[in-house]
Each structure stands twice: as C-alpha cells, then as structure tokens.
A and B are shown apart, each in its own frame.
Chain A
Amino acid sequence: MTSRPDEAEDTPVAERDVVIRVDGVHKRFGRLEVVKGVDLDLHKGEVVVVFGRSGSGKSTLLRCINFLEDPTEGTIEAAGVRLSGGYRTRRKREQIRQLRLRVGMVFQQFNLFPHMTALENVRAAPICAGIADNRTHAMDLLEQVGLADKADEHPIRLSGGQQQRVAIARALAMQPDAMLFDEPTSALDPELIGEVLAVMKALATELHMPMIVVTHEMGFAREVADRALFFHEGVVWEEGRPAEVFGSPQRPETKKFLDAVL
C-alpha cells in the first residue's frame, strides 16, 4: 500500500500488506477531544477488534476512517490514497468517495433504506457506481448471508438480525478491500446476535476479509480476531492477541473494563 510502486520491492512484506493505515488521527468536537492520536494498521486478512467504554472514541475513530467524521488531525491511507481532514475540494470529495467504495461499513442501527427491498438495498451501490449486471452478484451476496428467500422483502418485514445481514451484503456489494463494523450486534435482541456473528465469522475465515470490528462480543473476538485493541480516553490503551488481552490484561483500566463486561 505504498504510493510509489518502485518502492514496493524494498518494503517489508508486512508493510506491503497494509490495507488501511490510520496515522496520528485526532478528532475534536469543538473543545472536546474524542480521539487523541491513534495509529492503526489493518493488514490483509486481519481481523482487529476494538473495545472500550462508551465515549472512549472507538466509534468515532471508525467513522473517521471513511470520513463520515472529518479527522481533525492525522491521515487515513486506504485504496491507494492518503487523505487528511479539512476542507473538501471537488478532487478530495471524489477521493473520499473512492475510498468509501473500497471500504465497506456496517452500522449499529443497520441503516437499511426502508423504501427499497433487500435486493434493491444490496444493488444500490453498484447501480450508483454504474456497474451493469449487478443483479446476480447481489443475489449471490444475499445467498451468502442466508437471505436469498427474503430478496423481495422490505426491511420493515425483516428481523433485526436479518436486516443487519442484508446490511453486510450491501456493504460487500462493491467488493471492498476491507470492512468496518460499528457495534454491529449492539442493537439486536440477544437471540439474533449469533446469526450476524456467524456471517461475520464466515467473512473473516473463509473470505479473509480484513475488518475492524467495534464490538463487545468477547467470544467473537477470542475466536476470530487476530488483534484486540482496548480504547480508553481516545487512545489505544492496550493491544495484543485477544487471548492475551482478555486473559491477562496488563493495565488496570483494561482489567476493570473486562471485569465489568465479562
């Protein structure tokens, strides 16, 4: 993921495999600083789980990555471009759009388009991007999330778990390089969480989709994630393999949080 191809030879393998690079990102809302300097590399096929208290800045960071929030400082590098926040020129708007096409996002509240059927939801992005013959692919994606039979239903007629699975299919429709999940199961009834996590797990283990997942599902994190990041007061407070971070947290804040959650 270097900007100049001639450098690629000298770059270490791990470096070349970076799909998303978050570099020194800060986010301030007025005088409130929510993200206070975060560096994060997401590598090919890697699953990173981010957890932490509400208000610790984890969702904001995720939203900064695809510029739903404008980073106050720092840069995001993905899909071959390195972008910073600030005034959006026409060129920059287009670059941000290209980045978003390469990075799928799944929201806590699903945010499916209520006036479109499941299939139309999945096809929305490819149609807008001018991709012809997207119907088959969209059906394949619905099949993949186990909802081919619900293709013609409107979101209102689907359960929360089904809606979130359609939302995942929708985010996959542009064949992104990476996926961002913003608390994908937090709005779901307990009995519906499993089906969404199963889809995400399949995405990670079978398709090796790189993903950053903000979640409190520790079971999913242990089983699927390569790295776990504990967010505290706008920074990465502790990071490591999920088993290590959950099993023997090094810092008291991490331990305190885990004790409260588990």
Chain B
Amino acid sequence: MTETDARPGPSAGAWARVSGWVRAVGAWVVRTNRRTPFRVKVALVWVAIFALLAFFFWIAQFDNQWMLDNFTYIAKGLQYTLYIALGGILLAIVLAMLGALGRISSNPIAYGISGFYVSFFRGTPLIVQMFLIYLALPQVGINLHDQFPDLFPQTLANQLVLDAAVAGTLALGLNYGAYMTEIFRAGIQSVAAGQGEAADALGMTYRQKMRRVVLPQAFRVIIPPTGNEFIAMLKDTALVSFLGVAVANAEIFRRSQLVGKADFQNLEALLVAAALYWGLTIVFTFFQRRLESRVSRGYVRTSDRLAASSEAQAHGGGGGGVG
C-alpha cells in the first residue's frame, strides 16, 4: 500500500475504485457460479465448443451449397446403414446366445466351438474378417468344387460368392457376436446360483430352467450393453464400403466417398456423413437410455433387498457353504 501511495500517477482513490470493481466482478462471478445449475454450465461448454467448431467451419470456406445439394443423396444411405446394422445385431444376438450357452456348457463340443469362435473373431480385425468372408469364402467354394465335383456342385460353390453388403453384415454379426458372447455369458452367470438350484430342485429340465428362470433374469443385465453394441455397430457399418458395395444400395459412408470423389469435395462429403452418423447415434442413444431405465424398473427395491440379504447372511452366519 505504502509503495502505491509513494508512486506518482493514479491517486489512492482511483486504485481503491479499481480494486472495488475487481472485487465486485469477482463476487458476481462467484455468486453466479454458485447459483448456476450444473446442467446450464455443461450447456455453456457445449455452446463454446460449437462456436469454436463453427469458427473453423467458417474459415475453412466449405462449399455449403454443395453439401446441401448432396445431402439427400448421402442420407439415402441411412436405410442401408440401418439394414446392415440391424441384420448384423440380430445375427450377433443369436450367435452371442449360442456362444454364451457354449461357454457355460459342460459339453466339450459346445465349449470347444464357442471357445474357438470367440478367440478367432475377437482376435482378428473386423476389416480382415470382412475381406475374408468376401474374398476367401468363394475361394473355398471353388477349391471344394475342384476336389469333389460330385459332392460339391458348382451351384453350391456359387452360393459362397456373397454380395458385399451380405458379406459385410455377416462379418459384423460374427465379430460383434463374439464380443457379445462374453456379455451374455456374464449376464447368465450374474444370475444367483440359488436360482438355478431352485429350478433344478423343482424338477425343471435344463431348457425350462434357462427359458423360465435364468434367461429372463440375465436379460436385465444383457439388454443395456447390447444396445451399446448396436450403437457401436451402426458406425462400423462404414467398413462395408471397403468391399465396394454397388452404388444403388450403398450405405452412408460409401455414398459420401462416391460423390465426394466425383466432385472433388471430399471434406464436405465426410462432414455430411459424420453429421448423419452422429444424428443416428444420438437418436439410438436416446432409445437405449429409455430401454435401460425400463429394464431396471422391475427391481426398484434392489437396494433394500441387497441390504436385507446381507443382513440375512449376518444372521445365517454358519449356515451357508458346506454346513
């Protein structure tokens, strides 16, 4: 203070005024910060990010008119993207169910096959699997026909020559099915052992036990991550483009590449594709959240029950295990 007083220039009164303002602004910031709800602050962060993106967008001088003109063409790919993803997820669910039952089976054949399946399809890249199914499968048909022309006629060999979209869907289903096998297995194993024992003790067959007791409870655990996998798969459908799908039924990414290259507007085309994928994901994330909360609704009193059962264990003390 003394130093400031000694210096010539702004008087002590001016300094006091400035520091008063600074303090007032500081206090206002602190107060507003405290009063503003978390969600509003998050929204502000998003607005800031979008402003920044808009700035980059603006200085990049994109051809907005081109984007508008070609939006419909690229957006037509949505339906094929959805077809591929839906086909893929359905196949993946079936495979994951079978795979999970195999992983928990005491049958060596079922266990062996599911083990190989999970190992191979989790152990190799999706894009490699796509090419293998698209390119190697026809070769297998040709080889078999060459070696055993009677057993394996040409017509059968031709069946192994797949359309790119079909090969891509197969690969997606096989690949995601391998990952989801683990989800399904964990879901089934999350069902308390006592549930299966109770079903056994009531004289249910294995099939009845699974269908009526174990799986309905496992699905509560399985459904939310399966929705997640579907959302992930929506975007991996873009890989199918590398197999060179026919223009007529190309999905989003393939279409964006086609028009982008044709008009030398690659970045614009990619932006449109990105926006479409993002929009699609936002829509399905919304549905997935709803599904998730719906699925957990039946167990609302879960926390009470957990408390009750831990209490019970404390009471039961010596009872459990090999008692």
Residues of A within 8 A of B (CB): 29, 34, 53-60, 66, 68, 97-98, 100-101, 104-105, 107-109, 111-115, 124-125, 128-129, 154, 156-157, 160, 170-171, 173-174, 183, 186-189, 214
On whether A183 and B312 interact (CB within 8 A), knowing A125-B203, A174-B203, the answer reads no
Pairwise interchain contact B198-A111, C-beta atoms closer than 8 A: yes
Pairwise interchain contact B315-A186, C-beta atoms closer than 8 A: yes
Can you list 13 A-B contacts with CB-CB less than 8 angstroms, sorted by A residue number?
A29-B322, A58-B323, A59-B322, A66-B201, A97-B204, A113-B195, A124-B212, A125-B203, A128-B203, A128-B212, A173-B202, A189-B311, A189-B315
Pairwise interchain contact A128-B205, C-beta atoms closer than 8 A: yes
Looking at chain A's contact residues, the main secondary structure is: loop
User: How far, in whole Å, are A160 and B310 apart by their CA atoms in the complex?
Assistant: 13
Instruction: Verify if B189 is at the interface (C-beta below 8 Å from A).
Output: no
Interface string of B168-198 (1 = CB under 8 A from A): 0000000000000000000000001011011
CB distance from A156 to the nearest CB of B (A): 5
CB distance from A170 to the nearest CB of B (A): 7
Among B83-91, B235-243, B252-260, B301-309, which stretch is in contact with chain A? B301-309
Pairwise interchain contact A97-B320, C-beta atoms closer than 8 A: no
Pairwise interchain contact B323-A101, C-beta atoms closer than 8 A: no
Pairwise interchain contact B323-A107, C-beta atoms closer than 8 A: no
Pairwise interchain contact B200-A186, C-beta atoms closer than 8 A: no
Pairwise interchain contact A156-B201, C-beta atoms closer than 8 A: no
Pairwise interchain contact A109-B299, C-beta atoms closer than 8 A: no
Of the four ranges (under 10, 10 to 19, 20 to 34, 35 or more), the interface on chain B belongs to 35 or more
CB distance from A186 to the nearest CB of B (A): 4
Pairwise interchain contact A68-B205, C-beta atoms closer than 8 A: no
Instruction: Verify if B213 is at the interface (C-beta below 8 Å from A).
Output: yes
**Of A53, A100, A160, the contact of B200 (CB 8 Å cutoff):** A100
Instruction: Verify if B108 is at the interface (C-beta below 8 Å from A).
Output: no
Pairwise interchain contact B312-A109, C-beta atoms closer than 8 A: yes
Pairwise interchain contact A160-B308, C-beta atoms closer than 8 A: yes
Instruction: Verify if B9 is at the interface (C-beta below 8 Å from A).
Output: no
Pairwise interchain contact A170-B202, C-beta atoms closer than 8 A: yes
| Residue in B closest to A109 when the chains form the complex, CB atoms | B194
User: How far, in whole Å, are A114 and B190 apart by their CA atoms in the complex?
Assistant: 14
Interface string of B288-323 (1 = CB under 8 A from A): 000000000011111011001101110111111111
Pairwise interchain contact A187-B312, C-beta atoms closer than 8 A: yes
| Residue in B closest to A34 when the chains form the complex, CB atoms | B322
| Residue in B closest to A29 when the chains form the complex, CB atoms | B322
Best-buried of A56, A97, A214 by chain B (most CB within 10 Å): A97
Q: Using Cβ atoms and an 8 Å threshold, which residues of chain B touch A129?
A: 203
On whether A156 and B305 interact (CB within 8 A), knowing A59-B323, A113-B213, the answer reads yes
Pairwise interchain contact A54-B299, C-beta atoms closer than 8 A: no
20 A-B pairs besides A109-B309, A188-B312 with CB distance below 8 A are: A29-B322, A55-B318, A57-B322, A59-B321, A66-B201, A68-B201, A100-B200, A100-B201, A105-B201, A108-B320, A111-B192, A111-B197, A113-B198, A128-B208, A157-B301, A160-B308, A174-B202, A183-B316, A187-B313, A188-B315
Pairwise interchain contact A183-B202, C-beta atoms closer than 8 A: no
Q: Using Cβ atoms and an 8 Å threshold, which residues of chain A touch B309?
A: 109, 187
Q: Using Cβ atoms and an 8 Å threshold, which residues of chain A touch B308?
A: 160
Instruction: Verify if B70 is at the interface (C-beta below 8 Å from A).
Output: no
**Of A55, A107, A111, the contact of B322 (CB 8 Å cutoff):** A55
On whether A124 and B202 interact (CB within 8 A), knowing A114-B299, A189-B315, the answer reads yes
Best-buried of A98, A128, A174 by chain B (most CB within 10 Å): A128
Pairwise interchain contact A108-B316, C-beta atoms closer than 8 A: yes
**Of B195, B205, B302, the contact of A97 (CB 8 Å cutoff):** B205
Interface string of B50-63 (1 = CB under 8 A from A): 00000000000000
Q: Using Cβ atoms and an 8 Å threshold, which residues of chain A touch B322?
A: 29, 34, 55, 57, 59-60
Pairwise interchain contact B319-A54, C-beta atoms closer than 8 A: yes
CB distance from A26 to the nearest CB of B (A): 14
CB distance from A92 to the nearest CB of B (A): 14
